[in-house]
Chain A
């Protein structure tokens, strides 16, 4: 594994140790993944299709249970007892907003998590207003989510997670299917959010723009970990793992 200098003096907020995950059809998606993410870091997770990026994201919040290995989020080891608390403190934004947006209105959508987490009504209303303001969707409360454009749906998907202010954001393909303008809006949003982030993406230019550090994952294994500049300018490393230099570095 290629390693570069990263400040590892603090306790990591996210730690995976030798995690294996196999799908019911026998496909081994994660094969001994170990990684650490530190507070306030914005970290990219890059790799080709089928590398295990999305699986890793769902494993972190206990949607998929690893066959072996240990997942630790904000000091809590993931297990059925801690899963709920971990989901409250770490939010996952899915790749396809249509998977994430299922409520009749934008308000219900953003309020879904706070209500399920047991916040009182007045606080839920405040949380919804704040989250919608963060993603620039104020005034959309009464609208149906599927009447929105893809860019608006993406931002709404962020709001559904931001509403309960998780300390860690896990974001799966934030720029997928977006036109250049909406992609830029998403990048600006990611840069403006203060949370610790793990961003799974193919969009290496986005990683260069937003993240300080990145992991390269291929065939279920972390093959490189280091600062974005050194990883994303290593053409040999990228080519051997189904990637290529970011457009801005070509």
Chain B
């Protein structure tokens, strides 16, 4: 397997990596709350959130370019929003045309699209930061501590474990398909091949999930994933959480 893992940089050594996963999850919640309650009419809030996130990224020794490059994953959604939202109804029309029916760009639409775009990027950066500084099992542990339903945690754990195998199997089938391709396919034939591929992936996934379930039953599984507890939080972690939350509250009140 040669895939880039979700938590590619999670094994690095840095002060951010050493923070307890539960504290990181809480800190993530605080920064999310700060970002989501920020307004486009007070742009300084966005600037502070951005600087704060990228500052922590640089302390954690994760290349900033990696975080920014990951943001490109958002681009299809962002482009759609940036194109469509300015046309929503509003009071202040910035530009308009009468073509079959009236079309207009409103100030409210522009503000909304800007707000959503900036907030999406900041939330995405925070998420990448959290996942890149926390090993996935530790993240699951933190989620369990904040009482996320066990079923959801189990699903996440299985997804993390098997998504790469699924990608691997897809790649193998795609290679086999290409190897038998003697000339360029037309669209109908291509669509047919894609349907066969999806069907094969579905069947293989189903078969594998059956085998995994059998392996779990063979080792005493009775419907609930039981895990051992991991070490408790240190005083330094709690102090860090209070200082960080306090700082965010002060910034919020000051602006």
Tell me which residues from 134 to 173 in chain B have a Cβ below 8 Å from any Cβ of chain A.
135-137, 140, 157-158, 160-162, 164-165
| CB contact under 8 A between A116 and B226, given known A87-B220, A98-B165, A104-B137 | yes
Pairs of residues from A and B, 10 with the lowest C-beta to C-beta distance, nearest first: A104-B137, A116-B220, A113-B219, A99-B211, A100-B215, A115-B226, A92-B218, A63-B214, A117-B220, A105-B137
A220 within 8 A of B: no
Contact, CB under 8 Å: B218 / A63: yes
- Which of the residues A92, A111, A146 comes within 8 Å of B164, measured between beta carbons? A146
- B155-208 interface (Cβ within 8 A of A): 157-158, 160-162, 164-165, 208
Q: A-side interface residues toward B, CB under 8 Å?
A: 58, 61, 63, 84, 87-88, 91-92, 94, 96, 98-105, 108, 111-113, 115-117, 121, 124-125, 142, 144-146, 160-161
A94 x B228 contact (CB < 8 A): no
- Quote the shortest CB–CB distance from A141 to chain B (angstroms): 11
Q: How many residues of B contact A (CB 8 A)?
A: 28
Known contacts A63-B217, A63-B218, A112-B219; is A99 also within 8 Å of B208 by CB? yes
Q: How far is the CA of A214 from the CA of B165 in the complex (A)?
A: 35
User: Once bound together, how far apart are the Cα atoms of A63 and B158, in whole Å?
Assistant: 21
Q: Give the nearest-CB partner of A147 in chain B.
A: B5
B227: Cβ under 8 A from any A Cβ = yes
User: What distance in Å separates the Cβ of B236 from its nearest Cβ neighbour in chain A?
Assistant: 21
Tell me, rounded to whole Å, the shortest Cβ–Cβ distance linking A164 to chain B: 8
Report the bound CA distance from A63 to B140 in whole Å: 29
Q: Which residues of B contact A98 (CB under 8 A)?
A: 165, 208
Task: Tell me whether B221 is interfacial, beta carbon within 8 Å.
Answer: yes
- Considering the chains assembled together, what is the distance between the CA atoms of A9 and B226 in angstroms? 42
Residue of A nearest to B207 (CB): A99
Contact for B219 among A104, A142, A161, CB less than 8 A: A161
- In the assembled complex, the CB of B201 is this many whole angstroms from the nearest CB of chain A, namely 15
- Report A-chain residues with C-beta under 8 Å of the C-beta of B250: none
Task: Identify the closest chain A residue to B220 (Cβ).
Answer: A116
Q: How many A-B contacts at CB < 8 Å in the complex?
A: 81
Extra contacts, 11 of them, besides A94-B211, A102-B162, A146-B164 (Cβ < 8 A), are A87-B219, A99-B214, A100-B212, A101-B161, A111-B227, A113-B220, A115-B226, A116-B219, A116-B220, A116-B221, A116-B226
Main secondary structure of the interface of B (DSSP, over half): helix
Against A, the Cβ 8 Å flags (1 = close, 0 = not) of B209-242 are: 0011011111111100011110000000000000
Q: Please, how many angstroms separate the alpha-carbon atoms of A161 and B218 in the complex? A: 9
Are B215 and A102 in touch, CB under 8 angstroms? yes
A124–B229 alpha-carbon span in the complex (Å): 12
Closest to A95 in B: B211
- Shortest Cβ gap from A241 to chain B (Å): 26
| 20 pairs of residues in contact across A and B, judged by CB atoms under 8 Å | A58-B214, A61-B218, A87-B220, A92-B215, A94-B214, A94-B215, A99-B208, A100-B215, A102-B158, A103-B157, A104-B157, A104-B160, A105-B137, A108-B228, A113-B219, A113-B220, A115-B227, A121-B228, A121-B229, A146-B164
Name the CB-closest residue of A to B158.
A102
Interface centre among A92, A102, A160 (most CB of B within 10 A): A102
A residues near B165, Cβ cutoff 8 Å: 98, 146
Given A112-B219, A116-B221, A116-B222, A104 and B161 contact (CB-CB distance below 8 Å): yes
A144 to B137 Cα, complex, angstroms: 9
| Assembly CA distance A161 to B215 (angstroms) | 10
Report if B1 contacts A (CB, 8 A).
yes
With A94-B211, A104-B160 in contact, is A115–B218 under 8 Å at CB? no
Contacts A94-B211, A121-B228 given: A102-B164 contact, CB under 8 Å? no
User: A111 contacts which of B140, B160, B221, B228 (Cβ < 8 Å)?
Assistant: B228
B222 partner residues in chain A, CB cutoff 8 A: 116
